[in-house]
């Protein structure tokens, strides 16, 4: 049972609480990391002022540097010796043993690699169009405010047809301001270590070794190695900021200096799930060899063990339309060693999507966290794959008793695709991919052409039935961009036919020879009448960006927004990916959730909610669906049958559910008590080590975040949290949990006082 409060933050209308850090009090001594400069060595003092001797990770100085010893997963025990050579941190040795057996060497004299590619961030015309419609003066201040949440940007794409003002294929968005792009905008750099100080920091059941004196392109800051009690995970991170005004960037990372030997090899699984390997018998590589590897994993085997390299599973991907695997891993054979790592593609993506390759946003002064994870094991590649995949549950959303897993806003164009296939019975492989990821309610969001809208709706409804059974179902959805403001999704409780026009004298409802009742929609009032009569609900899929820039703020006082059928907005990372965030979409969507619920205090409305969405198009086996899409866990014992989706709509309307990236789950939560003596009770389970949990509440004006550090908890845990909070005068409350890789889960707000 946990109730200790670490931090409480109050802010006007928005939750801006930072990631909690609870370091030890000063101890007042240091250890010497030996740095070799020129022909002589000098000792670099590594401060232990923020290291607690009671830490489950033991830190001590050696003649050759710093040693950390800790208990890993199961019976594993690990020792990491790290030093500084010529201003560069080096893994002198990583040894492991199981059940107090002999120590065995897994790594020796390994070095850290990072590289960055930077471009120039621009706002898109798709974002500018709504602002122009509002009559907003497009000053540099306005552009600088909205450009960080861009979707249609491609700073590394220098093609004239996408850089010179012509619209990219399909999306109808005119070229961005300030084009064409110039090769001079693109800068490439390797990490430049010039370590001038070092500190060891305790934080619960983890230790962080921080090296100051790092440059990576225009970024400067520190390099960190984080180790976790109860886990074999080793996290590296460049925590750094740029002062340039419009930086978009990508990064690659890896470990070099791995020993060649009789059993040395590199292993990965291809997109068909088959094991591939290379025994490094060929000549040295001039460049990194990109691997189109499944699960974002590459494994090096050398010496007594194996080592997996993997990115954080979700924050590694910025906003894009597709889950195509463009090669997220690499290896390189050098003259007398080899290297493995993670990478982010540039031009490997299918040509039609090159205009949608936005990279990360780095607003000036923000501390960007460029992370990579390494997982050593005693054993072979199969053991490393199994250990690494456990952190993402095998890239499958876990089945929870009493819940159904909903994935939403898939641009599969289901109705149109079935029409063009020539048969309403054609089986679309998009849904096979989703089913294999553990999703059992899939929401295709069609955007029919006006001239064939009714026919496409018919094929959508009928195709949904043909792809559904008692374990998997398709939930029809429609994305609209008229009448209600911005883009908005319509979720059906049953099939409903409508057209987006109503000629003078035409009734709202007419009968069609083939489709029966048809709504003729010509106004907001028409649309809302249909939505209420047919029990539909609305979510804005990508608020405050794309074609919804400025929304839903612009309709906060409208009749449509102030209606319980308008449930809320979509939640997805990307569309402004910013690695200074400690919560997925922590600058754009999560604060908006809290603001919306402050807007409606006193209206009597149900709290507004989030729906996990993807904003991706066609899918095929091998696509990285898990990494690129969050899901919604709905409390439903079973799937509905036939074309009656009302139980799903009712569950969404109640707000009694949680959204997640997949690694963190909240199978139970409840609020008890009243007034100043309230408490949250919640069960949380996780894979990556947990960072913090939070109770968030608002009174109609301000939002408060009560943040509880969870860094004393180990990986692969579950915990019942009991957190007291003062609900006096508060109007709503919600709960969330976040882990060390940026993954998380959130419950939806409930109204206070409790009914």
pLDDT per residue as tens digits for the range 633-679: 999 999 999 999 999 999 999 999 999 999 999 999 999 999 999 99
The per-residue pLDDT for 320 is 87
Asked if 540 and 569 count as a contact pair (C-beta separation under 8 A), the reply is yes
pLDDT at 143 over 50: yes
Separation between Cα atoms, residue 665 and residue 658, nearest integer Å? 8
Residues 246-256: tens digit of each pLDDT: 999 999 999 99
Alpha-carbon radius of gyration of the chain = 26
Task: Give the tokens for residue 417.
Answer: 């695709």
The model's pTM is: 0.94
Provide the 10 A C-beta neighbour count for residue 753. 13
**374 neighbors 236 (Cβ within 8 angstroms):** yes
Q: What is the pLDDT of residue 161?
A: 60
- Tell me, rounded to whole angstroms, the distance of Cα 357 from its chain centroid: 16
Q: CA geometry: angle at 548 spanning 543 and 554, to 5°?
A: 90
What residues contact 477, with CB distance under 8 A and at least 6 apart? 408, 409, 443, 444, 445, 446, 489, 490, 491, 492
Decide if 458 contacts 496 (C-beta within 8 A): no
Neighbours of 668 (CB within 10 A): 14
DSSP 8-class letter at 90? E
Tokens (6 digits) for 217 = 């392109």
How many whole angstroms separate alpha carbon 413 and alpha carbon 172?
17
C-alpha 705/C-alpha 722 separation (Å) is 15
- Terminal-to-terminal C-alpha distance of the chain: 26
pLDDT in tens, 499-531: 999 999 999 999 999 999 999 999 999 999 999
Per-residue pLDDT reduced to its tens digit, 277-323: 999 999 999 999 999 999 999 999 988 899 999 999 999 999 888 89
Compute the distance between CA of residue 102 and CA of residue 736 in angstroms, rounded to an integer. 42
Q: Which two structure tokens, joined as six digits, stand for 43?
A: 């000792």
Tokens of 71: 């208990």
pLDDT of 262 above 70: yes
Q: Which residue has the tokens 């059940």?
A: 99
pLDDT digit string, tens, across residues 551-593: 999 999 999 999 999 999 999 988 889 999 999 999 999 999 9
Token pair belonging to 562: 């102030």
Name all domains of the chain by residue range, CATH numbers in brackets: 51-117+187-392 (2.70.98), 404-494+534-661 (3.20.20)
Question: For the packed helices 414-421 and 453-466, what is the interaxial angle rounded to 10 degrees?
Answer: 90
């Amino acid at each position: 049972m946990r109730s200790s409060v670490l931090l409480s933050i109050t802010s006007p209308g928005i939750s801006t609480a930072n990631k909690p850090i609870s370091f030890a009090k000063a101890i007042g001594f240091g250890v010497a990391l030996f740095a070799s400069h020129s022909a002589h060595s000098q000792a670099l003092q590594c401060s232990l002022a923020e290291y607690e001797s009671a830490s489950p990770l033991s830190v001590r100085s050696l003649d050759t540097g710093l040693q950390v010893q800790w208990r890993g997963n199961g019976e594993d025990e690990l020792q990491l010796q790290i030093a500084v050579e010529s201003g560069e941190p080096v893994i002198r040795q990583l040894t492991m043993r199981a059940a107090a057996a002999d120590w065995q060497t897994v790594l020796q004299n390994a070095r850290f690699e990072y590289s960055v590619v930077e471009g120039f961030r621009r706002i898109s015309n798709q974002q500018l169009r709504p602002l122009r419609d509002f009559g907003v003066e497009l000053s540099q201040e306005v552009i600088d405010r909205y450009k960080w949440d861009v979707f249609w940007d491609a700073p590394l794409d220098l093609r004239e047809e996408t850089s010179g003002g012509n619209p990219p294929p399909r999306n109808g968005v005119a070229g961005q301001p300030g084009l064409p792009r110039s090769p001079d905008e693109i800068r490439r750099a390797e990490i430049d270590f010039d370590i001038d100080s070092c500190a060891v920091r305790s934080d619960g059941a983890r230790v962080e070794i921080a090296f100051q004196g790092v440059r990576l392109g225009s970024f400067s800051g520190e390099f960190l190695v984080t180790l976790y009690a109860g886990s074999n995970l080793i996290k590296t991170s460049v925590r750094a900021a740029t002062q340039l005004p419009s930086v978009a960037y990508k990064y690659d990372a890896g470990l070099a200096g791995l020993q060649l030997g009789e059993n040395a090899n590199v292993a990965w699984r291809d997109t068909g799930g088959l094991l591939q390997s290379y025994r490094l018998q060929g000549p040295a590589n001039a460049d990194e060899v990109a691997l189109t590897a499944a699960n974002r994993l590459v494994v090096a085997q050398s010496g007594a063990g194996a080592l997996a390299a993997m990115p954080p599973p979700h924050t590694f991907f910025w906003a894009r339309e597709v889950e195509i695997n463009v090669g997220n891993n690499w290896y390189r054979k050098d003259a007398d060693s080899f290297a493995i790592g993670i990478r982010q593609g540039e031009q490997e993506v299918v040509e039609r999507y090159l205009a949608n390759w936005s990279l990360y946003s780095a607003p000036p002064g923000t501390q960007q966290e460029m992370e990579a994870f390494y997982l050593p094991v005693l054993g072979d590649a199969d053991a490393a794959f199994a250990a690494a995949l456990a952190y993402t549950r095998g890239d499958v959303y876990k089945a929870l008793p009493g819940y159904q897993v909903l994935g939403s806003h898939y641009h599969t164009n289901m109705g149109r695709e079935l029409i063009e296939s020539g048969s309403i019975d054609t089986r679309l492989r998009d849904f096979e991919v989703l089913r294999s990821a553990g999703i059992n309610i899939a929401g295709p969001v069609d955007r029919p052409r006006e001239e064939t809208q009714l026919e496409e709706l018919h094929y959508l409804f009928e195709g949904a039935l043909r792809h559904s059974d008692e374990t998997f179902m398709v939930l029809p959805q429609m994305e609209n961009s008229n009448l209600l403001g911005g883009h908005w999704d319509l979720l059906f409780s049953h099939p409903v036919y409508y057209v987006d026009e109503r000629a003078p004298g035409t009734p709202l409802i007419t009968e069609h020879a083939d489709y029966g009742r048809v709504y003729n929609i010509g106004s907001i009032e028409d649309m809302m009448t249909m939505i209420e009569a047919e029990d539909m609900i609305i979510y804005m899929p990508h608020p405050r960006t794309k074609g919804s820039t400025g929304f839903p703020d612009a309709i906060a006082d409208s009749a449509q927004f102030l209606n319980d059928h308008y449930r809320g907005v979509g939640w997805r990372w990307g569309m402004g990916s910013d690695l200074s965030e400690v919560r997925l979409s922590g600058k754009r969507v999560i604060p908006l959730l809290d603001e919306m619920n402050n807007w409606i205090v006193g209206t009597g409305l149900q709290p507004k909610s989030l729906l996990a969405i993807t904003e991706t198009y066609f899918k095929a086996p091998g696509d990285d669906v898990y990494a690129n899409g969050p899901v919604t866990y709905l409390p439903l014992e079973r799937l509905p049958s036939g074309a009656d989706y009302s139980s799903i709509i009712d569950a969404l309307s109640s707000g009694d559910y949680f959204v997640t990236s997949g690694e963190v789950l909240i199978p139970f939560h409840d609020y008890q008590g009243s007034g100043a003596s309230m408490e949250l009770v919640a069960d949380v389970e996780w894979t990556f080590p947990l960072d913090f949990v939070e109770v968030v509440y608002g009174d109609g004006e301000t939002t408060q975040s009560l943040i509880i550090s969870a860094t004393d908890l180990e990986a692969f845990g579950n915990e019942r949290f009991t957190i007291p909070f003062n609900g006096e005068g508060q109007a709503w409350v919600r709960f969330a949990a976040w882990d060390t890789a940026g993954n998380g889960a959130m419950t939806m707000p409930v109204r206070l006082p409790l009914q």
